[in-house]
Chains A and B, each alone.
Chain A
Amino acid sequence: MKKRLIFTLLYESGHFVLSRNFRTQKIGNIGWLNKNYNFARVARYVDELVLINVSQDRDFDEHFRETLSVLLEGVFAPVTVGGGIRTLTDAEKLFASGADKILLNRAIHENPTLIADLATKYGQQAVVGSLDVSTDQETHLVVTNKATTPGSTVNLQELLINGYLGELYVNSVAKDGTGQGMDPGIIDIVPSISSVPIILAGGAGKPTHLAEAIVTPKVNAVATANLLNFVGDGLQKAREEMRVAGVDLAHWI
């Protein structure tokens, strides 16, 4: 299998946002994104896209789905969508708006049955587990609710054993949005019984950070949500840098 470069877009209450240690900063709406950057072109340099709705207010769910449909016009790559998924119906609506896979974070801790149901209906490959990992000294801990609540890996173990998760998206709370470089050490949090692909996120501020982290043996993919640093030609540069470093990435015409 090829390694992957992933771009993550965070949406909050009508806008795309930057996150730094889970505090968000408004950047611009879809009009801004399309006016300043040609998103379909940006998407040609990544293997996959992840879109996460971090709005507290569920009234924005519909606008998020509309944004999704507009954003994905002319994008011919796999798309994972997360945020605010509480029921099978929530997920169905996202699949109908263009999602190939669904990303779930709180449900791992609070509603594992939903994950089992999604995997049964859409297949394991359509369900991605998201883990926010907090680091103190060398100790890693899963946290939830925007890093406010400690979580456990008991449910995660169970979900992995039963084959309900197709991938894991592992984000560093400490590195999130800092642009100081990624922390591949956090993937130690993934139970050793797991053989599902791991996506590492958090901390990439420049192409070199992504290229450095992707060579970690258990890291199958690296993701950045650093909208301002990467939305221009940053992803293209990151891809070139990885290729020069000998990373086995997909190539297309």
Chain B
Amino acid sequence: MATTRWATLMRYRGTKNRKYLRFERNLAELFGHASLYAIHHGNVHVIVTVIDHGLSNLGSLVSALTHLGHETRFAQSTGDIEGARVLILPGVGSFPVAMEALSRKGYGEEIRAAATGGNSKILGICLGMQLLLSSSDEGGGARGLNLVEGVLERFQESGNLPIPHIGFNGVRAPINSELFAGLPPESDFYFVHSHRARAVPPGVTAATTVHGEAFISAFEAGNVYGVQFHPEKSQGNGLRLLSNFLAAEVK
């Protein structure tokens, strides 16, 4: 295995080559069947541009993308975003601080242009998803990138409802969802957040999760995708969702 090059192995994809089949068995044994999805769908070596605004632990995201056979580049300048076909906007921390960091680097306008230009697609993860929406009441309030209409508010304190919302919780996705293709109608993902969107405009495909009340846990609007949870921390479900995003056609 160690001496067989990736490119050589990939030539045998879909055949009954013994070395290749052993490789698939090893992969499935190690990481679950979700890991085979990317290979079967031929989206090997997608170059993913990750927009790092300096506040995120990106190790596991990069590790997941590498594991699925893709290449990660970090945006170092506005030009890197302009030229990128596949963008991921991750993020943890505070909404106003992250928006300020994006504006300071001039990334905000570039992300908007890339997401609406018809040549790229973007996935926002956790705070990254929130930044794609219109505004948040966090830290005194701030405007977002407004690629999809939606307002973020802190979870309402009520009874014993834990805030932040931390841990695995079910996500109910509509049948026409691209992100959740191949997953059960309700599948579990790992969440860490205190603010949530309760509504997106009609026409936007939205998945929901219940924590006290139902909120928007994922959305898909053209080339703009957002997930409130962390796919890179959600075992096989997360790997499948990332694969689905990378396989989705740019519209």
Binding site for B on A (CB under 8 A): 1-2, 4, 38, 40-41, 44, 47, 72-78, 95-100, 123-125, 166-167, 195-197, 220, 250-253
Bound CA–CA A74/B239 (angstroms)? 11
A166 with B164: CB separation less than 8 A: yes
B32 at the interface (CB under 8 A from A): yes
Bound CA–CA A44/B237 (angstroms)? 11
Bound CA–CA A193/B169 (angstroms)? 25
Secondary structure dominating the interface of A: loop
Interface string of B215-251 (1 = CB under 8 A from A): 0000000000000001011111111100000000000
A252 with B235: CB separation less than 8 A: yes
B240 with A41: CB separation less than 8 A: no
A197 with B166: CB separation less than 8 A: yes
Bound CA–CA A196/B32 (angstroms)? 32
Query: Shortest beta-carbon distance, B178 to chain A, in Å?
Result: 17
Name which residue of chain A comes closest to B165, CB basis: A1
Query: Shortest beta-carbon distance, B209 to chain A, in Å?
Result: 11
B236 with A253: CB separation less than 8 A: yes
A252 with B187: CB separation less than 8 A: yes
Residues of B with C-beta under 8 A to A4? 167-168
B166 with A44: CB separation less than 8 A: no
Bound CA–CA A27/B160 (angstroms)? 42
B162 at the interface (CB under 8 A from A): yes
B60 with A47: CB separation less than 8 A: no
The one of B162, B182, B234 in contact with A195, judged by C-beta atoms closer than 8 angstroms, is B162
Bound CA–CA A13/B183 (angstroms)? 43
Query: Shortest beta-carbon distance, A37 to chain B, in Å?
Result: 12
Bound CA–CA A237/B236 (angstroms)? 18
A250 with B168: CB separation less than 8 A: yes
If A76-B235, A95-B57, A166-B164 touch, whether A251 touches B30 (CB-CB below 8 Å) is: no
Known: A1-B166, A195-B160. 12 other contacts (CB 8 A): A1-B168, A4-B167, A40-B31, A75-B60, A76-B236, A95-B57, A96-B57, A125-B192, A166-B164, A166-B166, A196-B162, A251-B188
The one of B30, B188, B230 in contact with A252, judged by C-beta atoms closer than 8 angstroms, is B188
B155 at the interface (CB under 8 A from A): no
B162 with A2: CB separation less than 8 A: no
Binding site for A on B (CB under 8 A): 29-34, 57, 59-60, 63-64, 67, 92-93, 160, 162, 164-170, 182-183, 187-188, 190, 192, 211, 230, 232-240
A74 with B162: CB separation less than 8 A: no
Query: Shortest beta-carbon distance, A121 to chain B, in Å?
Result: 9
Bound CA–CA A166/B166 (angstroms)? 9
Residues of A with C-beta under 8 A to B33? 253
Bound CA–CA A4/B166 (angstroms)? 11
B236 with A167: CB separation less than 8 A: no
B67 with A253: CB separation less than 8 A: no
Bound CA–CA A117/B243 (angstroms)? 37
A74 with B168: CB separation less than 8 A: no
A38 with B29: CB separation less than 8 A: yes
If A100-B233, A125-B192 touch, whether A76 touches B238 (CB-CB below 8 Å) is: yes
Bound CA–CA A32/B166 (angstroms)? 33
B235 with A44: CB separation less than 8 A: yes
Query: Shortest beta-carbon distance, A251 to chain B, in Å?
Result: 6
A2 with B167: CB separation less than 8 A: yes
A38 with B30: CB separation less than 8 A: yes
Name which residue of chain A comes closest to B168, CB basis: A250
If A44-B32, A76-B232, A252-B235 touch, whether A167 touches B166 (CB-CB below 8 Å) is: yes
The one of A47, A123, A196, A250 in contact with B92, judged by C-beta atoms closer than 8 angstroms, is A123
Name which residue of chain A comes closest to B231, CB basis: A76
If A44-B235, A253-B237, A253-B240 touch, whether A74 touches B67 (CB-CB below 8 Å) is: yes
Residues of A with C-beta under 8 A to B190? 77-78
If A1-B167, A41-B30 touch, whether A76 touches B233 (CB-CB below 8 Å) is: yes
The one of B30, B167, B238 in contact with A74, judged by C-beta atoms closer than 8 angstroms, is B30
Q: Quick one: which of A74, A196, A250 has the most chain B CB within 10 A?
A: A250
Query: Which 7 A-B residue pairings sit nearest by Cβ, starting from the closest?
Result: A250-B168, A250-B188, A252-B235, A252-B237, A253-B236, A2-B168, A252-B236
Query: Shortest beta-carbon distance, B236 to chain A, in Å?
Result: 4
A98 with B60: CB separation less than 8 A: yes
